[in-house]
Structures are given as structure tokens and as C-alpha cells.
Homo-oligomer: A and B are copies of this chain.
Amino acid sequence: MLLNSDNFKGFPRRYRSNFFNSLLGYKPVLLVGSKSKGGKENLAVFSSAVHFGADPPLVGLVSRPHSVERHTLENIKETGSYTLSHVSPHFFKAAHQSSAKYPANISEFAAVGLSPAYQTNFQAPYVNESEVKIGLSLKEIVPIKLNNTLLIIGQIKWVELAKQNILQDGSLDFDALETISVTGLDTYHQATKLEKLPYARPESSK
């Protein structure tokens, strides 16, 4: 079936959102932890994280200025500090629940039953239940005028994980980690490795 712009225009709003949010396939699901200057902790689930480079280590997050992610965005702007925590099978429902529109005076950590924890001298809390926690410092917020979104770019300052979950070549051992992924807005998945392939060279063409 071929769908074009005319078909897209006829999609009901929620159908359209589900279609395009799921269209690219599996996405990382990460909990973004932050804390306001006044000390209010905040937690929000994001599926829009993208690797921007390894040297310096940069991560991009796409955010809508007036969405449920608003408190996260305000805290990041205010403090320059935030964390990303991987999601495991035993708490993916709590992670999903953090996307509910809680009032500003409620900490999503408490509301969904996850534990905030801290690195020394780092403002933003991470999720203690997580197997991989990442601390970031805001570098730049790039406004995308096309649709009034923001690209939040941060530099990775620290990573906490168990040593045995790093393979010899530096990549994370996802067989051991059990980190989950998401498609669309609401569907969570566990993965099984097919294969780790060697570096591709022209002469290895079939």
C-alpha cells in the first residue's frame, strides 16, 4: 500500500501521531532526570535520544517546548545538568507512567515508584534502579523552526555501569544488560542479538 501526503492529511490526529512515531522502528527509551534550582526533582521518559559524536561525547534530545517535557526542559535550562538512565524489564511500566501529566509540585520519581540517587557534585538525579546511568552537561539548545521543536545537545560527563557490562572492544554488552527499547509511544520490547558483524570493507562484498 502506498500512502502519500494526501493520505497523511486524512489521518485522525492520534492515528497520525502513532503512525509517524512508530515509523522509523526501534528507539532507545531513556529516563531523563533533572532537578530545579529550588530542589524539585523531575523525571520524564524520552525516545528521541540520538548519538551526535564520541569526541567530545555528545547526545541530542528532541523536545517540544510546551509538552509534558516542559519541566525537564526548564530544569535543564536553569541548571545545565541532567541524566539519562536505561530502562530494564522490571520497571518499564514505571518508566512509561512518568509520561503522565503530573502537576509541577509532584516528583515523578515518587509518583511512579523509582528512586532518585546522586553523584557527588552533580545537580541532577538519576534512577537508582537503572543498570546504566549517564550524566550530561548542557552545551547548546538548537531551535528547529520548521516545527517549533528544540534539539537539546549535551556532553556526557560521567557514566556509571557495572564493569562486566562493557565488552573488550568498548561497546556495551546488551545480552547482559537487558535494556529495553520502544516503538511508537507505548510499545516496549526486549531484544535478542542476531550477530555482531566485523568492520565492513569493500573487499568483503559477496
Contact = CB atoms under 8 A, between A and B. Distances in A.
Interface of A: 1-5, 8, 11-30, 47-60, 62, 64, 84, 86, 89, 92-94, 96-103, 106, 111-113, 119, 132, 134, 139-140, 142, 144, 146-147, 149, 151, 153, 156-163, 166-167, 169-172, 174, 179-181, 183-202, 204-206
B11 A170 contact: yes
Given A52-B62, A53-B149, A1 B163 contact: yes
Contacts of A179: 25-26
B19 A54 contact: yes
B24 A113 contact: no
Contacts of A142: 142, 144, 151
Nearest to A28: B25
Given A25-B181, A50-B50, A200-B97, A194 B60 contact: no
22 contacts: A1-B160, A16-B54, A19-B172, A22-B170, A24-B28, A25-B179, A49-B50, A50-B62, A52-B147, A52-B149, A93-B197, A97-B200, A98-B200, A100-B201, A101-B201, A151-B151, A171-B185, A171-B186, A186-B197, A186-B198, A186-B199, A192-B192
Interface centre among A4, A17, A189 (most CB of B within 10 A): A189
Given A17-B54, A92-B194, A26 B23 contact: no
Given A23-B172, A113-B206, A180-B194, 9 more contacts: A13-B55, A26-B28, A47-B51, A48-B51, A93-B195, A94-B206, A111-B205, A139-B146, A187-B193
